Amino acid sequence: MTNRRAFLGLLVALPVVGTIVRPALASSPEVFATDGVAINGYDPVAYFSQSAPVLGDETHALIWRGATWYFSSANNMVRFEANPELFAPQYGGYCAFAVSKGATASTVPEAWTIHEEKLYLNYSLPVREIWRGDIPGNIGKADANWPGVLDT
């Protein structure tokens, strides 16, 4: 009931987000992936090394946590493989703001934030701005909801 109440509150409080957030369904995958590819094919390491979303290449790919991850270089792939938890987006790449509200939502590679050496993705640039309004508070709420939102 708590997850439903949080979700309904989100719908009322943030109409822009209400159209993109859905309650997590039982057996939601641990990593958000479009057609099996994490971050829509963008290189997770590049967010840290180039401070930008950089499209990966199928020639530099590996499977981690049930999703295929693409990298823009062999070096980035090796770095990820050595420590995927360091580079992978938090909350399995689901929208960090949605997870803070007890739900899940898709993400776009352009709506990203690195905070305290962790990568967070959001549904859109406007949602990212809402998320950035209280990053520590939103992280605290999302941490409390994760990974439970995958099973509700």
Predicted structure pTM score: 0.83
User: How large a percentage of the chain has pLDDT more than 70?
Assistant: 82
Return all residues near 99 (Cβ < 8 A) that are at least 6 apart. 91, 142, 145, 146, 149
For residue 115, report the phi and psi dihedrals to the nearest 5 degrees. -130, 125
How confident is the prediction for the chain on average, in pLDDT? 87
Q: Look-up: residue for tokens 């776009």?
A: 108
CA distance 95 to 99: 6
